[in-house]
Structure 1
Amino acid sequence: MFNFLFQDRNKEIQSLAEVISLDMAKVNLSKLAIEKAMLMIAKAIAKSDILIQTDNKEKRKEEYRLNIQPNDHECGTVFWTEVVKELLTTTEVVIIPLGGKYYRASSWQTTDSVLTERTYRDITLTCAGYDYSTYKSFRSSEVIHLRYDNARIRLYLQNVVGQYDKTLEAVNTMMRLSSQPRFKLKTGDNQVFAEELDDGTKRRTTRSKYLEKIKRLLESDELLVFPESTGVTLESMQITTNVKAEELAKMALQINNEVANAFDIPEAVFNGNITEKSDATNEFITYAVSPIAEVINDTLTAYKIGINDYCKEKEKVMVWLARFKHVDVVDSAVNLDKLRGIGFNYDEIREMVGYPLLNTEFSQARALTKNYGEEDNSNAAQET
Structure 2
Amino acid sequence: MDLFTRRKDSSFIYDLDLFEDTANRAYMKRLAIDEVLNFVARAASQTEFQVIQNKTPIKNDAYYHLNVRPNTDQSATDFWKDVVYKLLHDNEVLIIQDDNKDFLIAEDFHRNEYAVYNDTFDNVMVKEYQFKRTFGMDEVIYLNYSNDKLDNYITGLWSDYGKLIGRLNDIEMRNNQIRATVAVDATTGTQDQQTKKLQNFIDKVYKSFNDNSVAIVPTTRGFEYKEVSGGTGVKNLAFSETNSVKNAFIDDVASLVGVPSALIHGSNAENKENMQLFNTYCLRYILKIIRDELNAKLISPKDLMNEKMHIDSIGIDRPSIVDMAESIDKLGSSGMVTQNEVREAIGLPPRADGDQIIMTKNYTTSKGGENDDNENQR
State whether TM-score is above 0.5.
Answer: yes
Corresponding residue number in structure 2 for 1:114: 115
Task: Go from structure 1 to structure 2 and tell me whether the alpha carbon gap of 1:218 and 1:112 turns closer, same or farther (over 3 Å shift).
Answer: closer
Match of 2:229, as an amino acid? M
Structure 1 contact 49–323 (Cα < 8 Å) conserved = no
Which residue matches 1:133? Answer: 131
Q: Tell me the equivalent position of 1:375.
A: 365
In structure 2, the CA distance between the partners of 1:164 and 1:109, relative to structure 1 (3 Å rule), is: closer
Shift of 1:288: 2.3
Partner Cα separation in structure 1 for residue 267 and residue 167 of structure 2 = 36
1:179 to partner: Cα distance: 0.9
**What is the deviation of 1:40?**
1.5
Deviation, 1:367, is: 12
State the match for 2:172 in structure 1.
Answer: 175
Q: Distance in 2 between matches of 1:93 and 1:158?
A: 17
- Cα distance in 1 for residues equivalent to 2:357 and 2:21: 65
The reply to whether residue 24 of structure 1 matches residue 23 of structure 2 is: yes
Q: In structure 2, what is the Cα distance between the partners aligned to 1:321 and 1:252?
A: 30
Instruction: Give yes or no for contact 1:341–1:367 (8 Å, CA) kept in 2.
Output: no
- Is the contact between residue 92 and residue 148 of structure 1 (CA under 8 Å) also seen in structure 2? yes
How far 1:324 moved relative to its partner?
Answer: 8.0
| Equivalent pair of 2:12/2:174 in contact (CA under 8 Å) | no
Q: Alpha carbons of 1:148 and 1:213: their partners in 2 closer, same or farther (altered >3 Å)?
A: closer
Q: Greater share of helix residues, 1 or 2?
A: 2
| Aligned counterpart, 1:95 | 95
Shift of 1:86: 1.9
Deviations 1:252-306 (A, max 9, x none): 2222222222222222122222314552222122222222111111111112233
CA distance in 1, matches of 2:162, 2:124: 32
Q: Aligned pair count?
A: 336
Match of 2:282 in 1: 288
**Which residue in 1 is equivalent to 2:3?**
none
SS at 1:275's partner residue?
coil
| Alpha carbons of structure 1 residues 295 and 11: separation in structure 2 relative to 1, 3 Å | farther
Q: Is the 8 A contact 2:53 2:309 kept in 1?
A: yes
Partner secondary structure for residue 45 of structure 2: helix
Q: For residue 39 of structure 1, what is the aligned residue in structure 2?
A: 38
After TM superposition, the structure 1 = structure 2 runs for residues 256-275 of structure 1, keeping only pairs within 5 Å, are: 256-275=250-269
Q: Taking every aligned residue pair, what percent have the same amino acid on both sides?
A: 19
CA RMSD of aligned residues (A): 4.6
User: For the structure 1 residues 243 and 50, does the alpha-carbon distance in structure 2 shift closer, same or farther, using more than 3 Å as the test?
Assistant: same
Matches within 5 A, 1:1-384: 12-55=11-54, 60-61=59-60, 62-97=62-97, 98-108=99-109, 111-121=112-122, 123-124=124-125, 126=126, 129=127, 131=129, 133-135=131-133, 137-182=134-179, 209=198, 212=202, 219=209, 221-222=213-214, 236-240=228-232, 241-245=234-238, 246-276=240-270, 279-313=273-307, 315-322=309-316, 332=322, 335-336=324-325, 339=328, 370=360, 375=365
Alpha-carbon contact 2:138-2:297 (below 8 Å) kept: yes
Question: Distance between the aligned counterparts of 1:115 and 1:376, measured in 2?
Answer: 63
Task: Give the 3-state SS of the residue equivalent to 1:242 in structure 2.
Answer: coil
Letter in 1 for 2:139: E
Structure 1 residues 284-336: Cα deviation after superposition (integer angstroms, max 9, x where no partner): 222222221111111111122333222222643232233688x7x9xx58x54
Q: Say if 1:24 and 1:167, in contact at 8 Å, map to a contact too.
A: yes
**Structure 2 residue ranges without an equivalent (≥5):** 1-8, 187-193, 333-338, 368-375
Shift of 1:150: 0.4
What do the CA deviations read for 1:85-126 (whole angstroms, capped 9, x no partner)?
Answer: 2222332222223434322233445553333434445544x2
